[in-house]
């Protein structure tokens, strides 16, 4: 089977790869599908054709894996911040441990090395002490918005994370569970303030606008927050 670009295929995901991608095999050829889990049977469209592998976009989960769960975050399937929320945390550690072991043994040639199981964090959510959000006037549309009959405007003020593989499109976040809840409250305040006072977000294509990034750090020992705003000004003088 040639698996041409644009072709829609039914795949059974056999294993996990990096960054939330599941791996299916078609006549020995690896096909990577983002947002899948081992055991899933999915419908996918080939979006990238390489000599030794293909990449595909998930269209529909036909038969969910026994390990698949509902993500905590509504943006989990499209946001570049989290890639494995659709499987339990214990399984995430198992997948990542297998990937490390495979690289050490297969690529490194260290076949006799003892590799211990991956150690998890005490906190599955709200564990990060630093987040960097981006602003854009080019909002990433979700699949539900694309499927709507009426026109959906992708302009405006978007504040959140880059869509995977896109430097110019920002997913406008309604929630985030990576950093403490106060972090998202700060993001939401800055976004609403900019909209109210007509402060334009940065346009990565035209190199114009003002608001570029929002970086937030917090200390778990003192409960202090540090907020940095990164702005843009095109001053030829």
Evaluate if residue 155 carries a pLDDT over 80.
Answer: no
Q: b/e map of 67-76 (b: 16 or more CB within 10 Å)? A: bbeebebebb
Token pair, residue 133, equals: 């959000």
Q: Where are the domains of the chain?
A: 8-63, 130-231
Pick the CATH number of 8-63 from 2.170.8.10, 3.30.465.10, 2.40.50.140, 1.10.287.3510: 2.40.50.140
Whether the Cβ atoms of residue 216 and residue 134 lie closer than 8 Å to each other: no
Q: Supply the pTM of this predicted model.
A: 0.82
Give residue-wise pLDDT tens across range 91-107.
999 999 999 998 899 88
The average pLDDT across 204-212 equals 93
The two beta strands, 130-136 and 211-218, are: antiparallel
Neighbours of 218 (CB within 10 A): 19
**Residue 64: Cβ-neighbour burial (10 angstroms; 0-12, 13-18, 19+):** middle
Quote the CA–CA distance of 164 and 172 in Å, as a whole number. Answer: 13
């Amino acid at each position: 089977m040639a698996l041409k670009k644009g072709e829609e295929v039914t795949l059974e995901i056999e294993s996990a790869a990096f960054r939330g991608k599941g791996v299916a095999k078609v006549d020995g050829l690896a096909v990577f599908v983002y947002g899948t889990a081992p055991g899933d049977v999915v419908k996918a469209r080939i979006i990238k054709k390489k000599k030794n592998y293909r990449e595909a976009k998930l269209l529909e989960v036909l038969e969910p894996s026994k390990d698949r769960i509902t993500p905590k975050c509504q943006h989990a399937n499209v946001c570049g911040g989290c890639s494995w929320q659709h499987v339990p945390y214990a399984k995430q550690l198992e997948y990542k441990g297998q990937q490390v072991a495979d690289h050490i043994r297969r690529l490194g040639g260290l076949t006799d090395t003892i590799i211990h199981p991956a150690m998890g964090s005490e906190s599955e959510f709200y564990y990060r002490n630093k987040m960097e959000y981006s602003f854009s006037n080019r909002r990433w549309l979700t699949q539900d918005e694309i499927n709507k009959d009426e026109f959906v405007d992708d302009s405006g003020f978007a504040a959140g994370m880059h869509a995977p593989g896109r430097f110019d499109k920002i997913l406008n976040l309604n929630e985030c569970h990576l950093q403490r809840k106060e972090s998202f409250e700060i993001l939401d305040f800055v976004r609403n303030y900019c909209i109210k006072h007509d402060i334009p977000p940065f346009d990565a294509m035209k190199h114009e606008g003002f608001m570029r990034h929002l970086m937030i750090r917090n200390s778990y020992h003192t409960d202090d927050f540090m907020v940095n705003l990164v702005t843009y000004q095109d001053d030829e003088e």
